[in-house]
Amino acid sequence: MISIMLIAGNWKMNYGLKELYDFSNTFKSFEPSKDIDLCIIPPFPIIKEAKHIFQETKINVGAQCCHYKLEGSFTGDVSPKLLSEIGCDYVITGHSERRSNHFETNAYVKNTVLSLINKNITPIICVGETQEEKRKGNTFNFIKKQVSESVPIINDALIVVAYEPIWAIGSGNIPSEEEIEKIHNLIREELNSIPYLKVIYGGSVNEKNCKEIFSIPSVEGALIGGASLNFKEFLAIYNSGVKYLNSFKR
């Protein structure tokens, strides 16, 4: 069954085994909701250990990127096949930091998604405009193109698209509720032939603003960088999502 929301913490190039065990301690009190999946996305070398320590829990583990090929002469790259073998649940592809520093183009991202699906891993596909595109009033067209070129139409597996405006990442600035709603709806319209689609928001999500972000109707979760490194805060964000969804049940 597909949950309603996904809350994922992208550790980026931070932390190691010590912090993984700290995380595990903080999340001893974690009460998983069937409505919201939780995922941590640590650096590659500790994914296997993370899978091991969370095997009896509902904590999912993801990777921050991977190659689209299943094997071959690609020094330093990691294959979706290997990630599947070690039990990886999610993989981010097309993060803006990978697009700008590691040449992950729209075509690369699309091919990676196809390989991930083939290996039963859920892709988290990032899209988002630069400050410059926003300034030019070009956000709508930019996202439309990025979505159509990066996301393959898949009808039998869950696809997660994360709207992460580049100018919002790590800056403390977030788009207005109306802007987020408009872009999420655009993404949904562009991909309306994908039956299992989740559109989540990323960029400066924290404990203070998460309630407001979760209450935007088209937001189905969050991809969190900085605030996911503070484990108590990350847990509080998860619990805020649970509280929000529970408020509809009464």
Window of 23-31, 69-77, 108-116, 218-226 that interacts with ligand 13P by CB under 6 A: 218-226
By CB under 6 A, tell whether 116 contacts ligand 13P: no
Residue placing its CB nearer to ligand 13P in the complex, 131 or 246: 131
CA nearest to 214, candidates 178, 175, 240: 240
Backbone angles phi, psi at 233, to 5 degrees: -65, -40
What x-and-dash track marks residues 189-208 binding ligand 13P by CB under 6 A? -------------xxxx---
Catalytic residue among 97, 129, 133, 164: 164
**What is the longest distance spanned by two Cα atoms in the chain?**
56
95 is catalytic: yes
Query: Does the footprint of ligand 13P cover residue 32 (CB under 6 A)?
Result: no
Segment interacting with ligand 13P, rule: CB under 6 A, options 67-75, 83-91, 191-199, 223-231? 223-231
Among 117, 159, 169, 200, binds ligand 13P (CB under 6 A): 169
Residue nearest to ligand 13P (CB): 225
Residue 205 CB, nearest approach to ligand 13P (Å): 5
Among 226, 230, 236, 242, binds ligand 13P (CB under 6 A): 226
Residue 145 token pair = 């193109």
Nearest distance, CB of residue 108 and ligand 13P, angstroms: 17
SS (HEC) of the chain: CCCCEEEEEECCCCCCHHHHHHHHHHHHHCCCECCEEEEEECCHHHHHHHHHHCCCCCEEEEECCCCCCCCCCCCCCCCHHHHHHCCCCEEEECCHHHHHHCCCCHHHHHHHHHHHHHCCCEEEEEECCCHHHHHCCCHHHHHHHHHHHHCCCCCCCCEEEEECCHHHCCCCCCCCHHHHHHHHHHHHHHCCCCCCEEEEEECCCCCCCHHHHHCCCCCCEEEECHHHHCHHHHHHHHHHHHHHHHCCCC
Tell me the HSE value of 4 on the side-chain side, using a 13 A CA sphere.
Answer: 15
212 flagged as catalytic:
no
Interface pick for ligand 13P out of 224, 235, 237, 239 (rule CB under 6 A): 224
Nearer to ligand 13P, 113 or 224 (CB): 224
Contact at 8 Å (CB) between 91 and 47?
no
Size of the site for ligand 13P (CB under 6 A): 14
Binding mask 126-165 for ligand 13P (x = CB under 6 A): --------------------------------------x-
For position 170 contacting ligand 13P by CB under 6 A, the verdict is yes
Applying CB under 6 A, does 102 fall inside the site for ligand 13P?
no
Mind telling me the catalytic residues?
95, 164
Residues that bind ligand 13P (CB under 6 A): 10, 95, 164, 169-170, 202-205, 223-227
